[in-house]
Chain A
Amino acid sequence: MNPEYLKYIRKEVFPTAFCPGCGHGILLNAFVNALGELNFDQDNLVVVSGIGCGGWIGSPHLNVDTLHTTHGRAIAYATGVKKANPDLDVVVMSGDGDLATIGGNHLIHAARRRLPITVICGNNNIYGMTGGQASATTPKGANTMTTPKGNEERPFDMVKLVKGAGADHVYRYTAYHAVKLKETIKKALISNEFYFIDVLTGCPVQYGRRNNLRDPMKMLNWMKDNSEFYKNEYKEDKIMIGEF
Chain B
Amino acid sequence: MSYEVKIREDWCKGCYLCQNLCPKDVFDKADEINEKGIVIVKAARENDCIGCMQCANHCPDLAISIIEEEEKDAS
Contacts and interface: CB of A to CB of B under 8 A. Distances in A.
Interface in A1-51: 1-3, 6, 9, 14-16, 18, 20-26, 28-30, 32-33
A16 B65 contact: no
Interface string B38-75: 10000000000000000011111111110100000000
B17 A29 contact: no
Contacts of B58: 26, 29, 175-176, 178, 220
A26 B18 CA distance: 12
B10 interface: yes
A178 B64 CA distance: 15
B14 to A, nearest CB: 6
A14 B61 contact: yes
Contact of B62 (A14, A175, A217): A14
Nearest to B53: A179
B17 A16 contact: no
A204 B60 CA distance: 12
A20 B60 CA distance: 8
Contacts of A175: 58
Contacts of B12: 15
A30 B57 contact: yes
A18 B60 contact: yes
A110 B20 CA distance: 39
Contacts of B61: 14-16, 18, 25
B59 A29 contact: yes
A25 B16 contact: no
A29 B20 contact: no
Nearest to A217: B20
Contacts of A22: 60
Contacts of B11: 14-15
B57 to A, nearest CB: 5
Nearest to B11: A15
Contacts of B56: 1-2
A216 interface: yes
Contact of A25 (B8, B21, B38, B60): B60
Contacts of B6: 3
Contact of A2 (B8, B59, B65): B65
A32 B17 contact: no
Contact of A21 (B17, B62, B63): B17
Interface of B: 6, 8, 10-17, 20-21, 38, 56-65, 67
